[in-house]
Structure 1
Amino acid sequence: MSTASRRLASTTRLPAPRFALRPTAAFTAALASALFAGLGATASLPAQAQATQASRATAYRIPAGPLEPALTAFAKASGVLLAYTPDLVQGRSSPGLQGSHTPPQALAALLAGTGLAAVVAENGTYTLRRAPAPAAGTPAPGPAAGSVSLGEVRVTAQAQPNDGTTEGTGSYTAAGPSGAATGLNLSLRETPQSLTIMSRQRMDDFHVETLSDALEQTPGVTVSRQSDMTTFNVRGSSVNLKIDGNRLLSSGWGWNSHIMYSLDDLAEIDRIEVLKGSSGLVNGDGDYGGTVNLVRKRPTREFQASAQAGVGSWNSYRGDADISGPLNAAGTLRGRLVVAAKDADAFRDRQHSRNTTLYGTVEADLAPDTVLGAGLTYKQRSLQGATGTTPIQAFSGDGVAVPRMPRSFRIGATWAGYDQESLGLFARLEHRFTGGWTARLQVARDTVETPDMRIGYLRYALPGQLQYNRYTDIDDRNDSISLDVQGPFQLLGRTHDLLLGAGSTRARTTLLRGSGGSATLAAAGISYAGGGGAIAEPDWSRMAYSNDLFSRKNRYAYAAGRFHLADPVKLIAGARMSDYDQKDVTDIGWYNYRMRERGVVTPYAGLVVDVAPDISVYGSYASIFQPQSAKDAAERTLPPEEGTTYEIGAKGEFFHKRLNASIAYFWMRTENTAEEVGLNANGDSIYRAVNSATRRGYELELSGELARGWQAQGSYVMNSSNLGSASTTPRHQFKLGTTYRIASGAAQGLTVGASTRWQSAISTSRGTAVLGQNAYWLLDLMARYEINRQLSLTANIHNVLDKQYFSGVTNFAAQGLFYTWGAPRSFNLNMRYTF
């Protein structure tokens, strides 16, 4: 293979453009020979779309310099297809380009003084050629229409955005790179760990409104419910949470987690990145099952707006609006505003919730290579008829069976609940240096305030009890600052990538915790089967309160590099050094805790080998470090949990990167893993440190376009563990969501789809009492009809077969075994208008 051919093969693996191309015969032959071994893409660009593209102005910030990078930047920003032979641009320089221009204007400016001209074919493709020397006294000829036959060509166009944005792509797979695993901007195939992207299109198609809804559909994630609380599990362990890459450190009591983030509306979110396995390089400490990163929508360079309204089961009403675009004529200032509101009952008796979301963000081009972005997310949420974290009882602590209650059964009082406000503030400064280096500085503050949470619920424990809890002045705060610098460098005749980063994250929770309120059901004249509606509100002034504090600090620096050892072999290696501080202060001695760790190093390594133009095999090693506050029988805190994750697999990109597929095998081993072994005299859990705790399994996943108009995302996952607590997590799991858009005929404009989920049995036990949920299937259906280019109607049915199942089983030791019902069948109808 010639040098030019090798260069062609290594630089044309680009995301599929939003429009298709009908090449000339010679052009198709060249691409077929170099890329697809006889397979070429054939479609046409409508003449009207070509004219629109040619007249559409785009803002550019392309510095003067070598011509080839300038053309690449132009193709990415404009979305046109550009073709040329590699030797044509070698050694040439461009004067650069600033401001808004149409594609012909932009190319003319970029090529000024280069001796080259752009020729546009009838199908809208731009090709470069040497400009003929003009005759004496004759002006040089301008671009001419007509197709051009080429031999070997190099395609540099990229019609989709290259920052990972999924909005507007219509795809169920990643539209660009992600730094979720290593901090480096890598595609799914280049990442040596399992990484799943839940795209905006996937969420819109299946009526995904909250993080809990989204992760129920996400491959490889188990969503468990414990009454009002929701937990997420990947590979048998909990997950970390991020927003725009900024870590949200968890702190506080277990009840606190069920009122933060998991039930928030996702109207402002572009995509959800789920990294499977430990993340010692990008997180340092934390849960090693996975990391969930919510990525917010950003302002667009072109105007767009939409509004939608929907109605559904249990008196559910929701509406949202989204407007984005330039705020000045040059497009150097851009903004976006998203608002959403929902009011709904629930399938549980007399439970009601309200949600409001306001998101605003702006971006400004301070200079051609410098962008400043800032914004806020403000949310209000309320829940009435709350049940806290106590589910429905199946067995008492003595093993006495409790009759099963219907799905609508609610143990919480009607007056129980809370009102909550959250505010997320963020700013981002990005700069591109010469030579391909970039820097990004981010600061963020996320606060969640819950002034008053009142809980009253039933417990079947013999004799039956009413339990009261109150928490006031709950203030949760997460602050973070980070700086990342990355770019290419030359070593031993090859180009490599380097990333350097540093930052700090701090979380703090303060609250007043009320305790001591309880009464027997007999004294209150209430039966357990009657539900919590009859619970009277107590005199809260007689309750004692404690002042609780939970604090976490994390300071770090890290480095990572991708080293091109050979054309098909890339080594990714890095390490993170972190300092940790943790402080918990309560009036319960068992839960007081202080930890200080300095200079903790968490290394990372991965190897990716391209075995075919679209297929890679990989292996990776990631470290685990998790401080913990669990205590043994002598009230000694267990040492931090440490361990490693190993993963091997293969990944492929097919159909011009429109489809991603992967297979992976993972193995995790940890030391000092806390496992509950009993209760002390005060009823608090006693733990032991388990060494050589293992979790292992395999995953198969695909996402993207299987054929024209046919999108799919799905996986099969197997998890196993030698921990006794693993029985509450399904060993096997299958998920598949798919849609098909009918492009012609009487049903043109109709999209139909289905989402199905299956999991194997789960169970928990105490003595001879066993509570389990057999394996079960769930099925969702959707249909959307596009009335015209602006207006569409979407109908969704969740749990079509109305399957009755437990969405979680819980063992509260001396208190007994508990279950939480999954949601029954529900309907939703949504109308959307795009401006």
Structure 2
Amino acid sequence: MRSLKLAGLASTALCVVALSTSANAQIDDEVVIATDTRQAYLGNFNPLEVPNADQVIDSELLENAGVLNLSEALDLSASVARQNNFGGLWNSFSVRGFAGDINLPSGFLVNGFNAGRGFGGPRDLAGIESVSVLKGPRSALFGRGEPGGTVNLVTKRPQFESGGYIKGTVGSWEQYRAEADIQHFVSGDGGDLGFRLVGFYEDAESFRNDVETEKLGFYPSVTLNLNDAATVTYELEYTEQELPFDRGVVFSEEFGFSPRDFFVGENVPIETQVLGHQLEVEFDLNENWSLLTGAGYRETSLEGDAFEPQFGSRQTFFRDDEGGQFVSRFFRSRDFESDYVVLRGELAGEFNTGGLRHRLILGADYDEFDNTLVIDRGRPSPRGDFLGEGRLLTDATPAELGRFLLLDINNPVYGLNLAPDAGANTNRNEVLSGFGLYIQDQIDITDQLQVRIGGRFSDFEQDITNNLVDPNATRTTSDTRFSPQVGVVYRVNEGVSLYASYGEGFRQQTGVDFQGDQFDPNLTDSLEGGVKAELGQFFDTVNGSVSLTVFQVNQDNFLVNDDRPEATAVGFFSIPAGEAASTGVEFDANVEFENDLSLWVSYAYTDAEFKNSFADADGFGFTIDAGDPLINTPKHQFNVQAAKNFDLGAIQAQLGGGLLYVGDRNGFVGSDFELPDYTTVRAFAEIEPVENISLRLDVDNIFDETFYTNSFANVWVEPGAPRRFRITAAYNF
């Protein structure tokens, strides 16, 4: 961890040196500099020309919704559902019902670079300009992403202007947060240099008993424009967090859910760190062609102890004759590290052949993900009668409760045994690497009809070493795949288009089977169609877009429990044999009215279910039947967000609010345990009493709804927060 801090300081020093070398350049605030740079893999297309139902959650919407982290931002998209987030230590989500590997964070991109992999903690939105939800498998270009879609974060980069903001927030449960965004530029004969410094610090307690968190992040960036011939951008990501491992509340048929403030863990922090670098160079070869090259390196770590509820098979709930309720826990100590390297180059442009217009993307990339997992585990006796001689659990001494890691739900006492006996459970290094070539051509057949064709050839390799068995024995396997895509767009007029698309995707799977062989990739195929409209083409007083989409997504080869005798004889292993399908309808609208009213609406109906029967992948003794629902996937999800600007005399003001509805959903694969549906309402008010100074009040969960956002099992259920207040003061300059 010390090396991460030193590297972060060194990178910051390099930024300062780069700025100082331009000290002789003349500062010219009147200079207007074009700063638009294209995103890799996406090309330059009007939204009506894209044969997919994508969503862009821009900075204004993020600000209006008052979101501070990626999970809250993705709640704005009804196509995205929260999944088990590893005790609050990473982001995990599904798109259109499908999630990735439950043992790793969900894959997401930052400026097209894969940044979801790794163990750097949940992503804060400081430094993020917008969040895009790219629905459907995108492996034909990206070569990565989750089965139902890809999330791409666009960072705040220099805009060649001077200004920024400083803001402070005070909220419920002793939340204190400071955030800053400052940028400036210099202009000279050799080019223009812009720099931007973004950072935050937050210290907070929680509605959960005995829980505290501390976070900080620093995200500087530098952009150099070389006389319109090339643009070079460097970004640093440094984040450090201390978070307790929190599996949430527990549920049983006898008692229902434990109180939402009941914390089953211990207030011993898990420390996570991220140090990431991104470098991009864009060359404008001529007015029709450009070349984009880039490199990324991201180093993460996660280290600390956790106390987690045991499952029902090990008597999670104990009850005695005096009504005492106790939770049985086990202990795990983790030390995770990862390194991620990405290289890419992409040529994009357009040309004509025989009267047909072609817009071409041609590229290659390489990535390597190296992760090491070390886990020690201690599990006390699973039996509830360990006291013996007819003694009740309520008679247990603190020493006995501590020895067996028991926690009284009604009167929890923490810190009784923070260093229980533990033995080696996992010690594994895995390296996933891949090389890809991709091409996409969108052809204007007529003025109204466009066809998109493309595909990606991928060659990938896995090296895995089980240090508990033999640290000198590394198993290497490899595979190749081709992922095609095809789409068609019909422009009805300037404001409406119809589209349809088909795509195939794949995802490398971590780990090995009981024979030590690499798993076949997780495979996805997706068909969708819909209609899009730009409202500004039809109404003088309304701007924005609406879309209606239907989709069908199939998934094969996801991992299930290997119940073959030769596998069960030596332990618990998985095999790629699962099949599932997701069918649904989505409606999205992002509308701005002439009277300064903005409206965001997102609704999704998603019917996601297993298509074959098998023993579940996690070895809990359940049998999954064809037709069973996928975990944490509501059939109905709806989000609406509105904001209105107005004047109070000479004071500018804004009012707004939002509503989130999430339907009931399966909470434990293979069982009939369900998380109840919920509706939460939030509101905000903001005024600018003095020029450049604003005051804002946020109230979340106004009606103090008790709700649960996701689960892995009935004893690992994440509760939502009660009613919460936040006051923010900001100075803009």
TM-score under structure 1 length normalisation: 0.72
Q: CA deviation at 1:625?
A: 1.7
Counterpart of 2:179 (choices 313, 320, 324) is: 320
* 1:267 aligned residue: 126
* Native 8 Å contact 2:147 2:555 kept in 1: no
1:493 to 330, 355, 371: 355
1:644 to 506, 525, 534: 525
Q: Give matches, 1:567-716, under 5 Å.
A: 567-586=447-466, 596-628=477-509, 639-655=520-536, 658-676=543-561, 680=568, 684=572, 689-691=577-579, 693-716=580-603
**3-state SS of 1:655 partner:** helix
Following superposition, the deviation at residue 440 of structure 1 comes to: 0.9
The answer to whether residue 451 in structure 2 is matched with residue 478 in structure 1 is no
Structure 1 residue matching 2:46: 3-state secondary structure:
coil
**What corresponds to 2:285 in structure 1?**
433
CA distance in 2, matches of 1:789, 1:487: 45
The one of 401, 413, 416 equivalent to 2:254 is 401
Counterpart contact for 1:457–1:466, Cα < 8 Å: yes
Contact 2:661 2:678 in 1 (8 A): yes
Q: C-alpha separation between the residues in 1 aligned to 2:411 and 2:186?
A: 55
Tell me the CA shift for residue 533 of structure 1.
4.2
| Distance in 2 (alpha carbons) for counterparts of 1:178 and 1:698 | 28
Which residue of structure 2 lines up, in the alignment, with residue 559 of structure 1? 439
Query: Structure 1 residue aligned with 2:95, among 215, 234, 251?
Result: 234
Distance 1:406 1:516, change over 3 A: closer
| d(CA) in 2 for partners of 1:203, 1:246 | 22
Q: Can you list the C-alpha shifts for 1:181-236, whole angstroms capped at 9, x where unaligned?
A: x5322232221111111111111222211111211223421123454255211111
Q: 2:138 aligns with which of 257, 260, 279?
A: 279
Q: Deviations over 1:127-177 (max 9, x none)?
A: xxxxxxxxxxxxxxxxxxxxxxxxxxxxxxxxxx755xxxxxxxxxxxxx8
Deviations 1:590-622 (A, max 9, x none): 9x9967444411111111111011111111111
Equivalent residue for 2:156, pick from 278, 297, 307: 297
> Contact conserved, 1:772 with 1:809, CA < 8 A, in 2?
no
User: Is the Cα contact below 8 Å between 2:559 and 2:574 reproduced in 1?
Assistant: no
Report if aligned partners of 2:249, 2:260 keep a CA contact under 8 Å in 1.
no
Do the aligned residues in 2 keep the contact of 1:411 with 1:531 (CA within 8 Å)? no
- Cα distance change on mapping 1:531 and 1:273 into 2, 3 Å: farther
What is the aligned-residue identity percentage? Answer: 22
In the alignment, the residues of structure 2 paired with residue 336 and residue 517 of structure 1 have an alpha-carbon distance, to the nearest angstrom, of 49
Corresponding residue number in structure 1 for 2:658: 755
**Structure 2 residue aligned with 1:369, among 229, 249, 255?**
229
Which entry has the higher C-alpha Rg, 1 or 2?
1
Are 2:203 and 1:343 equivalent residues in the alignment? yes
1:203 is paired with a residue of what secondary structure?
helix
User: 2:348 & 2:239 partners in 1: Cα distance?
Assistant: 34
Q: Displacement, 1:652?
A: 1.1
Does the residue aligned with 2:492 lie in a helix, a strand or coil?
strand
Does the Cα contact within 8 Å between 2:378 and 2:422 map onto a contact in 1? no
Runs (5+) with no aligned partner, structure 2: 1-27, 100-105, 319-326, 388-399, 611-627
Q: How far apart are the structure 1 equivalents of 2:63 and 2:650?
A: 21
> 2: CA distance between counterparts of 1:655 and 1:494?
29
SS of 1:193's partner is coil
C-alpha separation between the residues in 2 aligned to 1:429 and 1:570?
Answer: 30
2-structure distance, mates of 1:477, 1:202: 33
Contact 1:247 1:283 in 2 (8 A): no
| One-letter amino acid of the counterpart of residue 662, structure 2 | Q
Contact 1:269-1:295 at 8 Å conserved across structures: yes
Distance in 2, matches of 1:465 and 1:683, equals 24
1:773 corresponds, among 663, 671, 675, to 675
CA contact (8 A) 2:39 2:111 kept: no
Partner secondary structure for residue 421 of structure 1: strand
Aligned to 1:381: 241
Provide the rounded CA distance (Å) in 1 between the counterparts of 2:686 and 2:416. 46
Does the Cα contact within 8 Å between 2:427 and 2:468 map onto a contact in 1? no
One-letter amino acid of the structure 2 residue matched with residue 392 of structure 1: V
Please, which runs of 5 or more residues in structure 1 have no aligned partner? 1-54, 61-76, 78-160, 164-176, 252-258
State the alpha-carbon separation in 1 of the partners of residues 306 and 175 from structure 2: 24
Match of 2:301 in 1: 449
Q: Distance in 2 between matches of 1:371 and 1:688?
A: 45
Q: Give secondary structure in 1 for the equivalent of 2:483.
A: strand
1:411 maps to a residue whose letter is: V
Question: For residues 429 and 162 of structure 1, do their structure 2 counterparts lie closer, same or farther at Cα, with a shift above 3 Å needed?
Answer: closer
Alpha-carbon distance in 2 for matches of 1:447, 1:633: 30
Q: Is the 8 A contact 2:120 2:301 kept in 1?
A: no
Q: Is the 8 A contact 1:806 1:819 kept in 2?
A: yes
* Matches of 1:393 and 1:581, distance apart in 2: 40
Closer, same or farther: CA 673–422 of 1 in aligned 2, 3 Å: closer
| CA shift in 2, pair 1:422/1:727, >3 Å | closer
Instruction: Give runs of aligned pairs for residues 174-253 of structure 1, distance below 5 A.
Output: 183-225=42-84, 227-229=87-89, 230-238=91-99, 240-248=107-115, 250=117
Distance in 1, Cα, partners of 2:83 & 2:588: 22
Is contact 2:489–2:500 with CA below 8 Å preserved after alignment? yes
Counterpart code for 1:426: Q
Cα 1:291/1:765, change in 2 over 3 Å: closer
Q: Deviation digits for residues 101-127 of structure 1, max 9, x if unmatched?
A: xxxxxxxxxxxxxxxxxxxxxxxxxxx
Q: Per chain length, whose mean CA-contact separation is higher, i.e. which structure has more relative contact order (CA < 8 Å, sep 6+)? A: 2
Q: Distance in 1 between matches of 2:272 and 2:517?
A: 36
8 Å Cα contact 2:210/2:266 also seen in 1: no
Determine the structure 2 residue equivalent to 1:820. Answer: 718
Q: Is the 8 A contact 1:244 1:295 kept in 2?
A: yes
CA contact (8 A) 1:651 1:660 kept: yes
Equivalent in the alignment of 1:50: none
- Distance in 2 separating the partners of 1:722 and 1:466: 32
Aligned to 2:692: 790
Matching residue within 588, 605, 608 for 1:721? 608
> Residues 315-357 of structure 1: CA distance to partner in whole angstroms, max 9, x if unpaired?
0011111111213456711111112111101111111111111
- Contact 1:792–1:833, Cα closer than 8 Å, also in 2: yes
Whose helix fraction is larger, Structure 1's or Structure 2's? 1
Query: Could you tell me which of 804, 808, 818 is aligned with 2:710?
Result: 808
In 1, the alpha carbon distance for the partners of 2:595 and 2:148 equals: 35
Cα 1:542–1:734, aligned 2, differ >3 Å: closer, same or farther? Answer: closer
Report how many residues are paired. Answer: 642
Task: Give the 3-state SS of the residue equivalent to 1:265 in structure 2.
Answer: coil
Contact 1:249-1:507 within 8 A present in 2 as well: no
Q: Distance in 2 between matches of 1:766 and 1:240?
A: 22
Relative to structure 1, the CA distance from residue 328 to residue 700 in structure 2 (aligned partners, 3 Å threshold; closer, same or farther) is same
Q: 1:496-530 deviations in whole A, cap 9, x for unaligned?
A: 21111111011111243212353567563244415
Contact map agreement 1:593 1:629 (CA 8 A) in 2: no
Distance 1:747 1:276, change over 3 A: farther
Letter in 1 for 2:453: A
Task: Specify the alignment match of 2:249 in structure 1.
Answer: 392
Other structure's SS at 1:697 match = strand
* RMSD of Structure 2 on Structure 1 (CA): 3.0
Partner of 1:57: 30
How far is the alpha carbon of 1:448 from its aligned partner? 1.0
TM-score, normalization by structure 2: 0.81
